[in-house]
Amino acid sequence: MKNKLSWFAVPYVVWMALMVVIPILIMVVYSFTTADFEGTLDNFAEMGSYASVFLRSFRLALIATLVCLLIGYPVSYWMAHEGPGFQRLAMALIMLPMWMNFLLRTYSWMSILENNGLLNQLFQAVGLLDALGVDYIPLIGTSGAVVLGMVYNYLPFMILPIYSVIVKLDHSLLEAARDLGADGQLVFRKIILPLSLPGVLSGVTMVFVPSVSTFAISRLLGGGTQMMLGDLIEQQFLGGAYDPHLGAAISMVMMVIVVVCMVVMNHFGEGEEQAVML
Amino acid sequence: MKKQNRLGSRLIIGLMFLFLYAPILLLIIFSFNAGDSSAVWKGFSLHWYGRLFQNRLIMESVYTTLLVSLLATAIATAAGTFAAIGLYSLGRKKRDALLTVNNIPMMNADIVTGVSLCLFFVAFFQGWGSFARWFNSIQSAIELPDRLVLGFGTLLLAHVAFNIPYVILNVAPKLRQMDRNLMDAAQDLGCTWMQAFWKVMLPEIKPGIVSGALIAFTMSIDDFIISYFTAGSASSTLAMTIYGMTKKRVTPEVNAVSTILFLSVLVLLVLSNLKEVRQEARERLGTARKSSALDRARMKLAEPQFKWVRRGSAGVLACAFLASVGFLSYATGSRPVVNVCSWGEYIDEDLITLFEERTGIRVNYQTAESNEALYSLLKSGGADYDVVVPSDYMIGRLIAEDMLEPLDYSQIPNFDFIDDRFKNLSYDPENLYTVPYTWGTLGIIYNTATVEEEITSWSALYDDKYAGNVLLINNSRDAIGEALLYLGCSVNTTDPKEIRQAYELVADANRRGVFQGRVMDEVFQKMEGGNAAIATYYAGDYLSMVDNQADGVDLAFVIPEEGSNWFVDAMCMLKDAPHQREAHMWINFIASTEANLANMDYIWYASPNREALNQYPAYYEELYGEELDPEVYEIMAAPPETLERCEAYMNLPAETLNLYKSLWTQLGVS
């Protein structure tokens, strides 16, 4: 049986080589060549001038990830302690927005944050604008709007893995700890927190990676002024500045940085089960 | 846990859901808005739902989205399940190595996956093209297509590629839990290998397969970035369409389509939850509850003798699905097509329908954001256009780089109506490649309700007085051109010092926070809604903004005293365009007086067609029963004395273009 079944893996290996490995190799080739495919390191040298974009992307993504964690962890924790009906409903409600595409969710924020948008209308109505003596409070086109967009879109990616780890915690462990005299705080710190770490790591990855590389959110909510790595890359391929070689180089550097971050982070959770998905 | 604690935690959970759902709720509420704003309520109406079903662009992209998600889920689920089974019968070392590779697409940022797949497809197409040409040249029995482009096929492949890892990850744990001896036992007891697989293994891992499929479908539906890089120009998912629309005017049709999507998912979810809840309740109550007629029928069907019914109906459903897919692709594929790429809000869409009705040719109408973006699109191999409508300087560049096909003017009799002023211009001196589409001027648009003084100079763009209220035009040529004009230089200067000086002017204003954003067609909603005070855009678009301006907004247009740019946008055919006959028919149709009048009326750009330009005031009067304001006509079709103050862009040498490009990329950085 063993030999027969292992043949099932062959088409998959071919597929992975074709659709995952080779495309990345092509990208690597692009990043080390000029437009005429002569070897060069210029693409990487040029990147120095984009250091601020790298910094901004990582800063905003980090903030968004932290906010997601601060909201997501307690919410998942409390949700895991509710009854099964509540849990199922809550899970469904968290997944539901994902079925209407993230661009629609981002778009819904545009009309809220505009200078004449719903929030500013609300501020006007409660007299906040007059009290401050301004026509509007700038919301759209700021880095805050971009972070908000990231948190809004990626919060479910933080909650789902943390929740699924906490909900599967072995309750006898908690009871044993209590029996041995640990109070609630100690139980949380010594048992729940370490055991839920894989979920946290997985959630952090799933929020940080899309945040750092987004271009739609920064474009829609940042108004093009909050340029991020994703925008920079998109510009080199389908946007105003056509230079796929530079774009490939930026993508590669971003990929490497992200992978290094992940490896370092996963080091903390070593020995634990591999990061859990959803 | 203490009771009051739980109350507090529930409150916070509730607040989080409020945060998650408030925007969606607003989206839904404004889909019923009678007005066309998504921020100002004008009364209840179902108007936008009616409009939605007439909007071909949105409906087609909904169809593409559903089709690609369903197909990708089906393929990825089957392939992923088999791959997972294969992986679990390999040795541990090999398996772990492969699982690491499996994780790559999930760990990678979407944009990296998208970009690398795009590069891969394009490289493959190039290789295939040379192979097909060689193959076709050595034999004539089979003709291989030598021109492949990004489209539905690549979109589907990309979705399958990023879905398979999720399926594997969900099936793998179930395989790990399964007792390996079960399969052997089944076979020992006389099952064939196939039977053992279907009866023993599959039921064991079924929950994993189901959740894998669900996640794959969710990821497919939710994806935007990977689709964006792999779908090319020919097919567009709903997300891509909406991304395109957010650049122009977003109409509440988008709200309507979101509402429908949201509600249908909600209904599905409620139904599946109800089923689960009922099942649980039944288990709890034992057999206390009488089974309903439906349940009885279902149980009956589950009996072995009805196997053929189940198999048969599944087969029929599958066939019906395949047939409808096949039919739709046939229906859209067999008709002659012309692929057109133009700018947003740049055609009277009735003309497309009219052309289709008269000729039976389907028009695949796409838009690009700017000349530079169009160039990227053409270069990256993502585009499958026949006709494009670039501006003068970009045409010069396309001709210089041998990217255009000469036109056969005998097939374009309407070219005779084009005014001589717009023939043989510098970008196409012998007029071999182009038929002018529109012409106009660039100028400053400002809201007189918030800007009290009269603006006469480009300096207003860089003035701290208007900080946070100025919109910078998002293409290097115009943005730097305006600064050059302000500095008294030619817009076609190749002097790096002058260009750098102009760039510094823009970059400095950017650092000081003068610009609210960098926009192209986003300018419409920003200016119309009074969300910004000053912008630069094209004369025709100004008139269209005035038409749509909100209450309390009063827009004005000025060509600054330092002079400005005047431009011609012209239709051209791309090198080796696959539908050349249809392309010529389209160009000829659009060059006609009738089409030019309709376009002039709809997009407010001046026509290069002599008759249309002269007849327009009369046409307007007949249509609206009132005289056309001469001032409006003057803004639309700038008189010679205004044009004298304006300079046309010319194509620049490569090193100047490179300078523009690197400066422009840096602007976002500063």
Instruction: Assign B550 to helix, strand or coil.
Output: coil
pLDDT band at B488 (very low <50, low <70, confident <90, very high): very high
Residue pair B603/B540 in contact (Cβ under 8 Å)? The answer is yes
- For A183-213, give one letter per residue: b (16+ CB within 10 A) or e: eeeebeeebbeebbebbbbbbbbbbbbbbbb
Tokens encoding B394: 């970009």
**What is the least distance, in Å, from the CA of A212 to any CA of chain B?**
8
Residue type, B415: F
- Which of A139-148, B18-27, B96-105 is least confident? B96-105
**Region class of A135: left (phi > 0), else alpha (psi between -120 and 50), else beta:** alpha
Share of chain B above pLDDT 90, in %: 46
Residue B363, phi then psi, degrees to nearest 5: -100, 120
pLDDT digits (tens, 9 = 90+) for B65-106: 999 999 999 999 999 998 998 888 887 888 888 888 888 888
pLDDT digits (tens, 9 = 90+) for B33-60: 887 777 778 889 998 999 888 888 888 8
How many C-beta atoms surround the C-beta of residue B260 within 10 A?
16
pLDDT band at B569 (very low <50, low <70, confident <90, very high): very high
pLDDT digits (tens, 9 = 90+) for B367-400: 888 888 889 888 877 677 899 999 999 999 999 9
Q: Search chain B and give the residue with CA nearest A138.
A: B468
Query: What's residue B304's pLDDT?
Result: 59
pLDDT digits (tens, 9 = 90+) for B348-364: 989 999 999 999 998 98
Query: What's residue A233's pLDDT?
Result: 92
pLDDT band at B414 (very low <50, low <70, confident <90, very high): very high
Query: What's residue A272's pLDDT?
Result: 43
Query: What's residue B313's pLDDT?
Result: 67
- For B145-183, give one letter per residue: b (16+ CB within 10 A) or e: ebebbbbbbbbbbbbbbbbbbbbbbbbbbbbeebeeeeb
The H or E element that residue B115 is part of is: helix B110-138
Q: Is the pLDDT of residue A273 over 60?
A: no
pLDDT band at B592 (very low <50, low <70, confident <90, very high): very high
Does B310 or B239 have the greater pLDDT score? B239
When scoring A33, A46, A50, A100 by the number of chain B Cβ atoms within 10 A, the one with the most, hence best to mutate, is: A100
Interval A90-107 mean pLDDT: 85
Domain ranges of chain A: 50-277
Distances (CA, A) of B328 to B60, B64, B353: 11, 11, 19
Give first-to-last CA distance, chain A, whole Å. Answer: 32
**Closest CB to A71 among B16, B161, B243:** B16
Tokens encoding B273: 């939850």
Q: Are strands B404-405 and B564-574 parallel, antiparallel or unpaired?
A: antiparallel
Complex prediction ipTM = 0.90
Distances (CA, A) of B221 to B261, B278, B331: 11, 29, 25
Share of chain B above pLDDT 70, in %: 91
Q: Search chain B and give the residue with CA nearest A241.
A: B661
- Options 2.40.30.10, 1.10.3720.10, 2.40.180.10, 2.40.37.20; which CATH number does A50-277 get? 1.10.3720.10
pLDDT digits (tens, 9 = 90+) for B594-606: 999 999 999 999 9
The H or E element that residue B519 is part of is: strand B515-519
B529 to A277: CB separation less than 8 angstroms, yes or no? no
pLDDT band at B301 (very low <50, low <70, confident <90, very high): low
What HEC string does B300-361 produce? HHHCHHHHHHHHHHHHHHHHHHHHHHHHHHHHHHHCCEEEEEEECCCCCHHHHHHHHHHHCC
When scoring A108, A254, A256 by the number of chain B Cβ atoms within 10 A, the one with the most, hence best to mutate, is: A108
Query: What's residue B37's pLDDT?
Result: 73
The CA-based angle A118-A120-A124, given to 5 degrees, is 115
Residues of B in contact with A216 (CB under 8 A): 224-225, 243
B119 to A23: CB separation less than 8 angstroms, yes or no? yes
Residues 110-169 of A with CB under 8 A from B: 110-112, 114-118, 121, 135, 138, 140-141, 152, 155
The whole-angstrom separation of Cα B290 and Cα B285 is: 11
pLDDT digits (tens, 9 = 90+) for B96-146: 888 888 888 888 889 999 999 999 998 998 898 889 889 888 888 888 887
Q: Are strands B434-447 and B534-538 parallel, antiparallel or unpaired?
A: antiparallel
